[in-house]
């Protein structure tokens, strides 16, 4: 069916409820809106669904959630996972509880046990619950840091990580094979509970998760020594982090934790936030105001599903709060963990730090300094989580830390996804250690720059909405792929990697090889002097992202180099 036929089907078929039909009637004279809602099915990508909430095949609604759940159910049944069941969590967004129940009741109608949290929970707690409960799969209903009109649906496999090959492609195939809405199963919640197919989970998982986090503390005595003095401002951005973050900080003994009142409680409209993203400086406006009132040492914010953390730290010399990128905060935690684990002789044998191909090159310098293996994966924390599973299977390494540039990291192996709750805990310990030494987190960051080099990174994104936008993004990638530059600005390209065709071209010696990583639509340009850039269409938003990194000799030098390289890239595009 074309988009007009799909629109008529949704408007007239008895399968769809009256509220859906009323919403569609309101747009019946808007041809462009009808086309955008129905020209395709909402893509079930390698991570699941994410889209604007509303009626239509290209929107997040109970019918697209049911379709995804039916496809997942079919795959679970083929893999004999019905009795193992599926754990389900959800965030504070519009319709998140309803979509979670829609998924659970579709699974139940297929004879698959569902374990649903009793209230909103962070994404990393779902990752933990999947393994703790011995489930075959997991689902999180969240759109992470997207604007309030979005929601999403992420799928995890039995290892606790988001699905990776071959499961991701196989699940996509099953979801795409579900074409007739009338074949999608569901049942009443009452019947599902009576049959033991809908189960509620809560405190027992919370308590076990907290105990796992505490195992990552290296110096509990340091926290106790400064607990009365250190001041922390925290905001959960009206999301899922409020309860677990406050609980872990309280149980560790921190006395002065101040919560941004306007952003404390769940708010699906994110009223005080233009964009609930810890990467956005504007999102910290209220937190920084509170920090100045309290003279806080550190300001932290978790995104709505609490898997990503943003921070500001006080610079005593200027009295200002300095923003940290995900690379910077991740490197502080990495430096602290590696240094202190070696000092306390608690470093495991064959330690490994896992990063992605777009993470700062400072990670290479830090791991080299401490004799730790660095392993790079494709962009996406699911690949970092997959490495933990592989380490356990082949006994090649022991995971000590993992991070990606987009404000996500994981200490410990309790979860297999980025975990902002454990990141808050770790950074609070690092800040305590600094406090005891009479320095700030910003001072420690400068020490790292002086020791390893002034690495700095940025992102440049181009947003292209709608069908035409997707075509423009694809054309942009093909142009770079077919005619890769040999020089970008002042930097010669040393090596070009095309992860889609698994090819590496070394421009210095003319040799070619393979990337050694799974297929992905990513282009990477390794430049002179530890500089680099990478092009990648977003898997969750209608944009193409360019990641850019340099190494300078000072803050000013790295700023100058980064701006020049970014300008050169923009001019080239």
Residues 49-59 pLDDT 10s = 999 999 999 99
* 250 and 389 together in one domain: yes
Q: Is the pLDDT of residue 119 over 80?
A: yes
* 186 and 247 together in one domain: no
* 399 and 459 together in one domain: no
Q: How confident is the model at residue 281 (pLDDT cuts 50, 70, 90)?
A: very high
Identify the domain containing residue 202 by its residue range.
40-208
27: number of Cβ within 10 Å: 17
Percent of the chain exceeding pLDDT 90 equals: 94
Using the 3D structure, point to which of 159, 176, 208 is the last residue of a domain: 208
* 383 and 443 together in one domain: yes
pLDDT at 540: 61
Question: Would you say residue 557 lies in a domain?
Answer: yes
* 192 and 249 together in one domain: no
Identify whether 554 is a catalytic site residue.
no
* 284 and 370 together in one domain: yes
The domain tally of the chain equals 3
* 518 and 532 together in one domain: yes
Under a CB-based contact definition with an 8 Å cutoff, are residues 356 and 384 in contact?
Answer: yes
Q: How many helices (H) and strands (E) does the chain have?
A: 19, 23
* 203 and 255 together in one domain: no
Task: Using the Cα atoms of residue 280, residue 286, residue 287 and residue 292 in order, give the sign of their dihedral.
Answer: positive
* 149 and 284 together in one domain: no
* 467 and 430 together in one domain: no
Using the 3D structure, point to which of 208, 223, 253 is the last residue of a domain: 208
* Mean pLDDT within 95-113: 98
Q: Is the pLDDT of residue 1 over 90?
A: no
CATH number of the domain that residue 119 is part of: 3.40.120.10
CATH number of the domain that residue 470 is part of: 3.30.310
pLDDT at 539: 66
Using the 3D structure, point to which of 169, 193, 208 is the last residue of a domain: 208
Under a CB-based contact definition with an 8 Å cutoff, are residues 403 and 380 in contact?
Answer: no
438: number of Cβ within 10 Å: 8
pLDDT at 277: 94
Q: What is the pLDDT of residues 392-430, one digit of tens each?
A: 999 999 999 999 999 999 999 999 999 999 999 999 999
Q: How confident is the model at residue 465 (pLDDT cuts 50, 70, 90)?
A: confident
Q: Rounded to 5 degrees, what angle do the CA atoms 162, 168, 174 make? A: 130
pLDDT at 467: 75
Instruction: Please state, in angstroms and rounded to a whole number, the distance separating the CA atoms of residues 562 and 570.
Output: 12
The one catalytic residue in 92, 96, 127, 144 is 144
Question: Would you say residue 15 lies in a domain?
Answer: no
Q: How confident is the model at residue 71 (pLDDT cuts 50, 70, 90)?
A: very high
**Average model confidence (pLDDT) for the chain?**
96
Instruction: Please state, in angstroms and rounded to a whole number, the distance separating the CA atoms of residues 300 and 316.
Output: 18
Question: Would you say residue 26 lies in a domain?
Answer: no
Mapped onto helix, strand or coil, the DSSP state of residue 504 is strand
Q: What is the pLDDT of residues 125-180, one digit of tens each?
A: 999 999 999 999 999 999 998 899 999 999 999 999 999 989 999 999 999 999 99
pLDDT at 396: 97
Q: Is the pLDDT of residue 381 over 90?
A: yes
* Mean pLDDT within 229-234: 98
């Amino acid at each position: 069916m074309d988009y007009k036929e799909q629109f008529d089907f949704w408007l007239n078929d008895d399968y769809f409820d009256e509220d859906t039909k009323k919403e569609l009637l309101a747009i019946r004279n808007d041809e462009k809106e009808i086309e955008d809602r129905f020209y395709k099915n909402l893509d079930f990508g390698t991570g699941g669904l994410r889209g604007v909430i509303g009626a239509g095949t290209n929107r997040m609604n109970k019918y697209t959630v049911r379709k995804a759940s039916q496809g997942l159910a079919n795959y679970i049944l083929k893999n004999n996972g019905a009795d193992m069941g599926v754990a389900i969590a959800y965030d504070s967004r519009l319709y998140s509880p309803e979509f979670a129940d829609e998924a659970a009741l579709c699974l139940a109608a297929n004879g698959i046990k569902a374990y649903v949290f009793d209230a909103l929970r962070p994404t990393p707690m779902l990752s933990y619950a999947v393994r703790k409960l011995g489930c075959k799969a997991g689902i999180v209903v969240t759109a992470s840091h997207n604007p309030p009109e979005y929601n999403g649906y992420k799928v995890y496999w039995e290892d606790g990580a988001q699905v990776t090959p071959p499961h991701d492609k196989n699940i996509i195939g099953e979801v795409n094979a579900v074409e007739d809405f009338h074949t999608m199963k569901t049942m009443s919640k009452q019947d599902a509970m009576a049959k033991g197919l809908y189960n509620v989970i809560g405190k027992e998982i919370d308590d076990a998760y907290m105990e796992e986090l505490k195992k990552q503390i290296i110096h509990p005595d340091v926290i106790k020594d400064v607990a009365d003095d250190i001041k922390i401002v925290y905001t959960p951005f009206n999301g899922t982090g409020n309860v677990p973050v406050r609980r872990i900080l309280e149980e560790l003994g921190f006395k002065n934790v101040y919560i941004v009142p306007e952003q404390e409680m769940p708010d699906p409209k994110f009223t005080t936030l233009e964009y609930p993203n810890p990467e956005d400086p504007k999102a910290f406006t209220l937190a920084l105001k509170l920090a100045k009132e309290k003279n806080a040492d550190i300001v932290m914010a978790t995104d709505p599903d609490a898997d990503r953390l943003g921070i500001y730290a006080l610079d005593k010399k200027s009295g200002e709060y300095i923003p940290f990128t995900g690379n910077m905060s991740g490197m502080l935690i990495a430096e602290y963990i590696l240094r202190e684990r070696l000092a306390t002789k608690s470093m495991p044998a064959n330690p490994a730090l896992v990063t992605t191909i777009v993470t700062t090159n400072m990670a290479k310098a830090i791991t080299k300094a401490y004799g730790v293996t660095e392993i790079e994966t494709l962009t996406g924390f699911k690949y970092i989580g997959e490495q933990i599973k592989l380490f356990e299977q082949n006994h090649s390494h022991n995971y000590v830390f993992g991070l990606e540039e987009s404000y996500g990291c994981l200490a410990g192996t309790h979860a297999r996804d980025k975990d902002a709750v454990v990141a808050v805990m770790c950074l609070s310990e690092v800040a305590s250690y600094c406090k005891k030494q009479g320095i700030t987190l910003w001072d420690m960051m400068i020490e790292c720059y002086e020791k390893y080099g002034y690495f700095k990174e940025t992102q440049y994104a181009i947003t292209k909405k709608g069908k035409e936008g997707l075509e423009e993004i694809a054309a942009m990638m093909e142009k770079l792929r077919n005619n890769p530059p040999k020089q970008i600005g002042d930097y010669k390209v040393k090596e070009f990697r095309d992860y889609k065709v698994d090819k590496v071209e070394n421009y210095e010696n003319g040799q070619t090889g393979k990337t050694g990583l799974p297929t992905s639509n990513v282009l990477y340009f390794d430049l002179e002097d530890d500089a680099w850039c990478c092009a990648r269409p977003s898997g969750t938003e209608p944009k193409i992202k360019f990641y850019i990194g340099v190494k300078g000799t000072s803050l000013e030098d790295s700023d100058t180099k980064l701006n020049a390289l970014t300008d050169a890239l923009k001019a080239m595009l």
